[in-house]
Amino acid sequence: MPPQMKPGTTMMRNALKKYLVSDSKPPVIRLSEQQNLTSRFQNRRQLSTSSRGTSVFSLKKEGKYGFTKLDDYEVVKSIGIGPLLNAAAIGKGAYGEVVEAVHKRSGDAVALKIYAKSRMADKTRKANLLREVRNLEAINHPNVVKLYDCIDDVSKNVVMVMEFVRGVSLKRYASARRLSEKEVAHLFRQIVSAVAYCHSKGVAHRDLKLENVLVTGNGTVKIIDLGFSIWTQRGQKVKILCGTPAYMAPEIIKRYEYDPQLADIWAAGVVLYYLLSGTFPFKGGSPEEIGKSIAESKLAELDSNKVSSGAAELVRAMLTADPSHRFTAFAALQHPFLSGGKS
């Protein structure tokens, strides 16, 4: 049997094409070449100080520092092309360049997520960014990265001023050692709490995965990268290919219309499975086999000698093939594995 393929790779995406929707795929803003971002901001006189409220990207209300402009921030260093990761944990698959900066007046560290306007000529790409800004503006939860401001420098860039998170991706954190169930419950409770909050606001993330969750030094979780997030009414269904193949729910794989909030729950279930076992729940010797396993919901059973029955029960409830019978985020929070035995 050939070696097992890594979920989320380009090879896997190509192999899954026959299972996935080929039309209405959200465009991907390609990564640019790494640039010297610090030098880009050295000449502060070139940065726009235009009045607020003239850009569609401007926040509707003042953020943490009020309405700011780019020269209110001093760039510290480039932290790579990645979704708010520090220099030690630069990730892949970003939608903009990111620099670490300091808000001059307060001295606070922030992350500046920079979208070049030259890459937003396509109306759909622009709409995706606007949706990210609006959804983040509506969210205020301790386990979701915060948006402080959004600055349109008129000619070149749209810059999102965001909370700077000093941490590593959950994938890196969980791969370093086997986690106890107590620690898994602690981390996953925060994830589900954030997801439940977002869903209560009508926001579905649509790309939940280990790489889009950061863990700080004190064990606090931060969900990041809402670039594919969408606002939906309860029960509303969509039919757009979105997310990472290994985390896609079977209804997406099988080209059905789907509830994006329930697709989030499936993706969260994949995360929980990995935290408990160190592996992904759907196996195969090739990308085609993995895609078929997901489409047919052939869930690999967790080792009962290593995983408690309660934890395994929650995994099954979140990875239920029929979305109408799948747990919601609120139901998951009430499960004894996350509620400490209180249901």
**Cα–Cα distance for residue pair 133/118, rounded to 1 Å:** 18
Cα dihedral 48, 229, 206, 17 sign = negative
* Nearest C-alpha neighbor of 267 from the set 198, 334, 218, 336: 198
Length of the chain as a residue count: 343
Catalytic residue among 72, 149, 152, 207: 207
Q: Please indicate whether residue 303 is annotated as part of the active site.
A: no
In this structure, the strands spanning 97-103 and 73-78 are antiparallel
Contact criterion met (CB below 8 Å) for 341 and 308: no
Please work out, in degrees rounded to the nearest 5, the angle formed at the alpha carbon of residue 125 by the alpha carbons of 121 and 131: 135
> Can you tell me the distance from the alpha carbon of 211 to that of 83, in angstroms, rounded to the nearest whole number?
9
Selection from 332, 322, 199 nearest residue 260 by Cα? 199
Hey, which residues are catalytic here? 207
